[in-house]
Structure 1
Amino acid sequence: MRRLLSINPWLYLLFFVLLLGAVLGQQYRLFERAWFSVQEWQHGAQWRDQSLWLGDYRVVIEAKPIADISDVSALTYDPDRRSLFSVTNKPAKVIEISLQGELKRTIDLEGFGDPEAIEYVAPGTYVIADEREQRLVKVRIDDATRALDAADFQQLSLGIGRNGNKGFEGLAYDAKNQRLLVAKERDPVRIFEVLGFPHVDESKPLALQVNTDPKRDARLFVRDLSSLDFDTATGHLLALSDESRLVIELNAEGKPISTLSLLRGQHGLQRSVPQAEGVATDDDGNLYLISEPNLFYVFRKQGD
């Protein structure tokens, strides 16, 4: 009897460790991530030639400060200007950055409460997401633009699953299908598909449709979403998670097929990316990333 009693504390400890491991595994999506690693290993040869295949990417510019800018959020590539655009919210600005991470100009934002994302949709046309108000604003930017007032532009408010400062955090645009993909940060993680905005053809009536894909969202083994990017060449979507320090490539069916870890020692990184906020790819397949407060990264496919 005494021997059984003496064993009980160890049984309790083992039970506690197992319970804690299960809770942490669920919270950090470790089980789903481990299962994906098995699938990636099994199907790597098949998937590599049909995707960006993020595992082959290596950092070539790491943690380069962007002038005296701070609080950067989101990233998009403009193929016409061959430059990158981002937003800051303290103060609210749009910033244009070269492909080498040099600040080219800043544009003041007026009437935006909490700008968190910007996305190129057509020559000179962008959409800016206002996080807390869950508002999308279509704006025009040219060489002469120095300020943008939200009141001057087409807007769309979507009160979907309002949850304080856990609103719209990322944007991506699929030009072929004219759909805007909108990321909800967390609680829960969601990617909405918006059809009909921005309203491109003013001669036709506005026909708005908002779709979701719960199965795809359930496959996202990340704790949050910070940014999105749509790769036209492959038709694949990139989803960036700050808390999970991970970029996931999703195929056209919404299934994860490759990942890029933002942890120290992975993909040539000397240090972990501190707070990843934006991801974008260019026409040559180069991957750009920004992190708060103002750090700039470039990843290039090995051998390219």
Structure 2
Amino acid sequence: MRPFALRLAGYSLLATALLTAAVFFAYIGVRYYKLDSQMYRWMSGEDARDTQWNRSDRQGGALGLTGYRMDIDARVVPGIDKNLSGLAFDTDHDRLIAVVNRPATLYTLDRNGEPTGSYPLRHGPDIEGVAYLGNNRVALLQERKNTLHIVTLPAQPGPIDMNKSKSLRLDLFPGSNAGFEGVGYDAGRDQLYLVKEHSPSKLYRIDGLHDADPAAMTLRLTDLSAWIDGSLPATDLSSVEFVPGLDHLLLLSDESYRLMELDRDGRPVSYLDLRSTPFPHARVPQAEGMAIGPDRTIYVVSEPNLFYRLTPPAVAGNGNAG
């Protein structure tokens, strides 16, 4: 009985070790390689949808994301340790605006990802998205409360009291843990675009934000989710950006490692797979925010504190990778 008991104990230890290893590798696969999302894409037939994108007959007057190259790859943003989230381009001052959700802070960055100022956001936790509205006005998206805050940047870097901001509650998903994640602004038409991350992903547009009084209920909300239902080659949405001059939308997916371009009618145009493009680091760990400059250079930020710059074919990169 004793040898049998020893063998049984050995088998039990081996089974425990194998189970522990399986759980560990499953965690690594899901956390760092998004294997759950890739399996979902394969089982749901999403890869077949890719044929709608990057078609030659839709590239006229488009960004043509497949031609972009990365000239700043995974640069650590000095002074930020973790929780780097949203990103926007400030066209009035030729700079970027980034947000960190914990501790809630707004940063200004130059085009190379170097911080130039910080604005602690008092009473403003869980800020995920940011959009520049013009004239130093910034829209900040509070995910869990589904609340949009409008703040004015002070002339000099310093604290901003969120309790004194104009705010709009967008309570479209009661009881959901997945709220609005990203926000982008069309200054020419005064239209704000919002994306819900997942379960399911959603796309909305708000008209009349600049002049409207939220208390008077004069804003117009349009559900554009039909643009992404059934055609998007991605399992989530982490950011949205409007492309001036083209009237196109850019969408960013963290789980699927993709940038995607839609035309003004919501039709698929082009996408860039951040896994297969010949970038030095090959992956963006957790792409949370993006912005596009007047020259159509695209900027991406990833948690914990990484900065990326992608240039179109006509723009020569002048940054250093790494």
CA 1:302 to 1:267, structure 2 compared with 1: closer, same or farther past 3 Å?
Answer: farther
Cα offset, 1:68, TM superposition: 2.9
Match of 1:34 among 39, 43, 48: 48
- Matched residue type, 1:250: L
Asked if 1:162 corresponds to 2:174, the answer is yes
Which TM-score applies when normalising by structure 1?
A: 0.85
Per the alignment, residue 125 of structure 1 pairs with: 137
Cα offset, 1:95, TM superposition: 0.9
Cα offset, 1:90, TM superposition: 1.4
Match of 2:245 among 233, 251, 275: 233
Cα offset, 1:52, TM superposition: 0.5
CA distance in 1, matches of 2:219, 2:314: 43
Cα offset, 1:55, TM superposition: 0.5
Preserved contact between residue 63 and residue 297 of structure 1 (Cα < 8 Å): yes
CA distance in 2, matches of 1:290, 1:57: 16
- Matched residue type, 1:231: V
CA distance in 2, matches of 1:280, 1:216: 21
Per the alignment, residue 163 of structure 2 pairs with: 151
Per the alignment, residue 12 of structure 1 pairs with: none
Match of 2:205 among 193, 196, 214: 193
Q: Matched residue of 1:80: which SS?
A: coil
Which TM-score applies when normalising by structure 2?
A: 0.80
Asked if 1:280 corresponds to 2:287, the answer is no
Per the alignment, residue 59 of structure 2 pairs with: 48
Preserved contact between residue 88 and residue 116 of structure 1 (Cα < 8 Å): yes
Cα offset, 1:113, TM superposition: 2.6
Match of 1:66 among 59, 73, 77: 77
Asked if 1:97 corresponds to 2:109, the answer is yes
Q: Matched residue of 2:75: which SS?
A: strand
Preserved contact between residue 107 and residue 117 of structure 2 (Cα < 8 Å): yes
CA distance in 2, matches of 1:201, 1:212: 19
Greater CA drift, 210-219 or 253-262: 210-219
CA 1:247 to 1:162, structure 2 compared with 1: closer, same or farther past 3 Å?
Answer: farther
Per the alignment, residue 181 of structure 1 pairs with: 193
Preserved contact between residue 262 and residue 269 of structure 1 (Cα < 8 Å): no
Q: Considering only aligned residues, what root-mean-square deviation do their CA atoms show, in Å?
A: 2.1
Asked if 1:220 corresponds to 2:232, the answer is yes
Preserved contact between residue 118 and residue 157 of structure 2 (Cα < 8 Å): no
Cα offset, 1:48, TM superposition: 2.3
Cα offset, 1:240, TM superposition: 0.4
The number of residue pairs the alignment matches comes to: 276
CA 1:40 to 1:221, structure 2 compared with 1: closer, same or farther past 3 Å?
Answer: closer
CA distance in 2, matches of 1:54, 1:163: 37
Identity %: 30
